[in-house]
Structure 1
């Protein structure tokens, strides 16, 4: 899927879930799974038509995402993903390396059997869609795996910060899907799952860090960002 076929907003009770919030969440998910290709711009009207909503709730959602640096409104009022400079790439990845292992360690005592089973299911979904299935499903399952873990800690600070980081780099991580087939990478998700089973916080931190570093390596070389 790409911005040529954004998922329509699912109807919901607007009394408890305002339409602009529904649009915001839909666009946020589309960014996380990489359905806004870097370098491609769209009009506000084009986005609202694809989502099946009016311009006003779409404008409000885009305003919020622009404030999060996930989208950029150009002078001609078209919307695009901000350019990924080397400096921005390094900041986003440094934020992941600082926040995600911490969030995982804090969450570990609260991961029960049901949550672990959901994490395993997300990882299995990724494996089924590894190069032979749907990139959308693969990307969403990867997000769900990580945040199934992070949300266990019930942090009102760390999780929103991480979501803001993920929504910014999602469009670029999507490019990795096309190159992972030839990459020799150990499944760090399985390492994380085993660490959770052993209640081993240090090994869990190591697995999460290694998973992020794998993505950094592939993204750096796929986009030609060089190395520091």
Structure 2
């Protein structure tokens, strides 16, 4: 039973680190020292080391010159490439969701967006960032394309450390919000409408991230 228990701890550490990255709880350039990270997440050193190295192998984390695990700084070229891939894959998943998503899944997306709108109204932008992530991944999941979902999740993990800058440019002034266009397209079983809605959201909604990365490069 010991190997199974160890594997479960490693999986738990991996899942918690992945979630922390995806939700912006770990910042670019942050050094992830083994002992403090183990204490922070309440997991012993060995499974934490395995989880860290697994994320290094997935390019979600990196090793510096001293061999210390660090949160990588996303370059403008990387962000643009990630955005291009997301336009394709999330667009494909949204189109498929318009064909097959259940009414319950669509209602869940409506509820997530309603909570995002409330966060915008109250200025709870950190919460809005997390809910926006949930909306995108839930939409992908509704398309029932598991390989696409796996790839998209990895892309969100890599972008996660800069997502706190999503609203640097303010709340986008658009009417209707692309999320509402997507939901309407899902209800109407309109694949191309759903694809266009999520692609607009990715392109226009990600302006704050692009501006942040461009600004950081100019400062360097």
| Larger CA deviation: 39-48 vs 73-82 | 73-82
Q: Deviations over 1:136-176 (max 9, x none)?
A: x3222112211222112322311111111111011112212
CA RMSD of aligned residues (A): 2.2
TM-score (norm 2): 0.87
| Shift in Å, 1:91 | 1.2
| Shift in Å, 1:28 | 0.9
Query: Take 1:31 and 1:45, find their aligned partners in 2: how far apart are those partners?
Result: 18
More helix as a share of residues = 2
Partner of residue 199, structure 1:
189
| Larger CA deviation: 31-40 vs 215-224 | 215-224
Partner of residue 176, structure 1:
166
Partner of residue 46, structure 2:
56
Query: Take 1:66 and 1:125, find their aligned partners in 2: how far apart are those partners?
Result: 34
Q: How do 1:8-19 and structure 2 match up within 5 A?
A: 18-19=8-9
Match of 1:139 among 116, 129, 132: 129
Query: Take 1:173 and 1:142, find their aligned partners in 2: how far apart are those partners?
Result: 10
Partner of residue 217, structure 1:
207
What is the total number of aligned residue pairs between the two structures?
211
| Shift in Å, 1:45 | 1.4
TM-score (norm 1): 0.84
Partner of residue 109, structure 1:
99
Structure 1 residue runs of 4+, over 4 Å off? 14-17
Query: Take 1:164 and 1:45, find their aligned partners in 2: how far apart are those partners?
Result: 25
Query: Take 1:26 and 1:177, find their aligned partners in 2: how far apart are those partners?
Result: 25
Instruction: Give yes or no for contact 1:185–1:214 (8 Å, CA) kept in 2.
Output: no
Q: Describe the SS at the equivalent of 1:157.
A: helix
Partner of residue 32, structure 1:
22
Gaps of 5+ in 2: none
Of structures 1 and 2, the one with the larger relative CO (CA 8 A, separation 6+) is 2
